[in-house]
Structure 1
């Protein structure tokens, strides 16, 4: 039962974008080792700014 709840919680987090920053950091460290990575706050700020700049890319 607990395993099912954890999987469901992880799935909801993935759907909401909770894991996006961690994926960004992993990819940046793989592609550009030694290069500074944006903080989580900077990442979300840039992501929302890009979304606002191109509203047709959103579904709603």
Structure 2
């Protein structure tokens, strides 16, 4: 099950409050501004700054 588009529309990066987008593989959410990836586990986005991973170049 993919993340609902309505949920994606209201989610924001917890660090900068900016826009996020789904990764190409749909297993995470990317904040381009902070260069962070928030993992999606069991169809639930983990929107904790300390759990985010740096975005690879």
**TM-score scaled by structure 2?**
0.27
Larger-Rg structure: 1
- Which one has the bigger strand percentage? 2
Q: Which structure's relative contact order is higher, taking Cα pairs within 8 Å and 6+ residues apart? A: 2
Q: Calculate the TM-score normalised by the size of structure 1.
A: 0.26
Higher fraction of helix = 1
